[in-house]
Structures are given as C-alpha cells and as structure tokens.
C-alpha cells in the first residue's frame, strides 16, 4: 500500500450483525490498519454499542478510535464519557458535531464540533489524538465553501490533530481542499475518506443525505447496470482503486476506508494497490 490505512465500522444492532462484524474485522486486520474507528449514532443513540465495539477492537490488539458527537450533550456527561474512554485505553477520538435525531430539539451545551474539540483539550490535555471531519465538496448545511473552510479552521485551531474527509469520487476536489487548508496555514494531515462502491442504491441514498457528489459518468454507468450486482461491484472496484492510486500519487498521507462492516471490497482495493 505504501500509505497507512484506517478502517471505519458502525456498531451492529443484532447479535448476528456483531458476529459478522467480528469476521469482517479479522479479515481486515491482515491489512495492518493504523486504527479502526467506530461511529456514533445521532444524539449519541448508539453510544453503548459504539463503546462496546471499541472495547472489542482494543481487546483484539488493534488501536481503536471512538467517534464522539456533541449534539444534545452536556459538559458533565461528556466529561464522564471521556473518563470512561481513557479508562478503556482509547487514545484517539473522532470529534464531530453529529446529527440531530428526528423529532429532537436543539439542546446540549455544545453548538459546533470546534466547541467539543476545545472542551476535550481543556479537560484532557494531549491525552487523545483528535481527528475531525472535513468536506472537500462542502458540508451540505454550510452557507458557502468559504464558510465551510472557516468552520474547519476553527476545529483545527481548537486543537484537532488531523482530519478525515467525507467520501468523494473526484480527486481534484480533495487536492483543491488540501491546497486551501495549506493557504490558511493549517498544518494538519487531511486523510481522504474512501467509500467502496458495492451497491448503487445504497450509495445514491448515502450521497443524497451527506452531500457527496457522484460524478455524472459514474452515476450513469451504475444506472446502466440495473440490478447486475456483479457488474456494479467490478466497476466499483476499478473506479475506487483508480481514485486511491491518484490520491497516493498526489501525496495523500493515509487512507480511511468506510467499510460499512464488510471486508471484501476494501481487501480487494488494497490488494490491487499493493500489486
């Protein structure tokens, strides 16, 4: 591979899901990930599952990062959760504003991810390495690309060590974002988030929700395959491997794979990159 990789999982909701994820993790550990992160549901709705999965990964001898969102959170509750994560041996956090659960008022004592980052730093010093999110194609709720960039700068100035991007399929958007970050004098690694393409319906739904752009040529090819899942997966492997090659050649410091708790596509992309 020649660049470090990290892997993202979500907390499974059923015993079957947990067993499948353990199998997927065992396969993916052959890639020697730098760390594995575990997502956190809207308003902390999956907190127990998140921390449980983080604990399993640590017990398997792999560094684990917990996602940590601040929507609806109080300082007292956040302090308590940070103490628990320290006790577990977690050394890395992915600090996010997070999404509001449906039907949920605003609430909470933190308005932005930068507030959460500043609080974690004030409470724990340098005990945690803090990653934050960034959006090469702009956060869907940002007023403008410049406002989005300034929001990212606020997170870095609050104490973030690095950033992981929303997924994208246009390498130019990543490189342009990295250049803009550099122009602001923000000296942090910006790691591209990689989403393998294995299911076109799912991809369209995710992308609609998070504002990630699917280039027209990719969208049309996927639509052309209809329900032919073998062709979708084969095409997806070619597209994403090529994207990773461009990112690596352009100097991306690492790659973060959104695995969706599956192992096959990520393993194959990394195999091709190592060939």
Name residues whose C-beta falls within 8 Å of residue 212's C-beta, 6 or more positions apart in sequence: 137, 166, 167, 168, 169, 195, 206
- Which CATH number do you get for residue 48? 3.20.20.220
CA-CA distance, 64 to 34, in Å (whole number)? Answer: 9
What was the pLDDT predicted at 224?
96
Question: Which of 49-63, 96-110, 143-157, 255-269 shows the lowest mean pLDDT across its residues?
Answer: 96-110
Compute the average pLDDT of residues 158-170.
97
* Mean pLDDT of all residues belonging to the chain: 92
Strand 255-258 to 129-134 pairing = unpaired
Task: For residue 180, give both structure tokens.
Answer: 């803009």
| Domain boundaries, position 160 | 5-274
CB 73 within 8 A of CB 110: yes
What was the pLDDT predicted at 43?
58
Name residues whose C-beta falls within 8 Å of residue 154's C-beta, 6 or more positions apart in sequence: 112, 114
Q: For residue 1, what pLDDT band results from cuts at 50, 70 and 90?
A: low
Which has more confidence, 140 or 21? Answer: 21
pLDDT beyond 70 at 105: no
Question: Which of 116-120, 130-134, 206-210 shows the lowest mean pLDDT across its residues?
Answer: 206-210
Stated pTM of the model: 0.94
Which of 54, 42, 43 is CA-nearest to residue 77?
43
pLDDT above 90 as % of the chain: 81
Number of domains in the chain: 1
pLDDT beyond 90 at 139: no
User: What residues are annotated to the active site?
Assistant: 8
CB 258 within 8 A of CB 9: no
Q: For residue 42, what pLDDT band results from cuts at 50, 70 and 90?
A: low
Task: For residue 1, give both structure tokens.
Answer: 């591979």
pLDDT beyond 90 at 104: no
DSSP secondary structure code for residue 36 in this structure: E
**Predicted confidence (pLDDT) per residue in 193-243, tens digit:** 999 999 999 999 999 888 899 999 999 999 999 999 999 999 999 999 999
pLDDT beyond 70 at 44: no
């Amino acid at each position: 591979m020649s660049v470090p990789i990290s892997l993202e999982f979500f907390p499974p909701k059923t015993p079957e899901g947990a067993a499948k994820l353990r199998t997927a993790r065992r396969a993916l550990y052959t890639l020697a990930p730098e760390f594995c992160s575990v997502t956190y549901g809207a308003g902390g709705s999956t907190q127990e599952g998140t921390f449980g999965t983080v604990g399993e990964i640590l017990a398997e001898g792999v560094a684990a990062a917990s996602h940590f969102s601040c929507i609806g959170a109080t300082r007292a509750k956040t302090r308590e959760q940070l103490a628990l994560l320290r006790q577990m041996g977690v050394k890395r956090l992915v600090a996010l504003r997070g999404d509001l659960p449906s039907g949920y008022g605003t609430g909470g004592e933190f308005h932005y991810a930068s507030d959460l980052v500043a609080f974690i730093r004030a409470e724990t010093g340098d005990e945690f390495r803090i990653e934050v999110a960034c959006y090469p194609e702009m956060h869907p709720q940002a007023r403008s690309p410049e406002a989005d960039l300034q929001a990212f700068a606020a997170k870095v100035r609050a104490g973030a060590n690095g950033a992981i991007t929303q997924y994208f399929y246009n390498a130019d958007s990543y490189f342009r974002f990295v250049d803009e970050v550099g122009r602001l004098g923000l000296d942090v690694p910006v790691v591209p988030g990689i989403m393998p393409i294995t299911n076109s319906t799912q991809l369209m739904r995710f992308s609609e929700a998070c504002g990630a752009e699917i280039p027209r040529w990719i969208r049309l090819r996927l639509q052309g395959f209809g329900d032919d899942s073998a062709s979708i997966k084969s095409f997806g492997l070619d597209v994403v491997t090529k994207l990773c090659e461009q990112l690596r050649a352009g100097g991306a410091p690492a790659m973060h794979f959104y695995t969706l708790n599956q192992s096959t596509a990520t393993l194959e992309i990394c195999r091709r990159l190592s060939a």
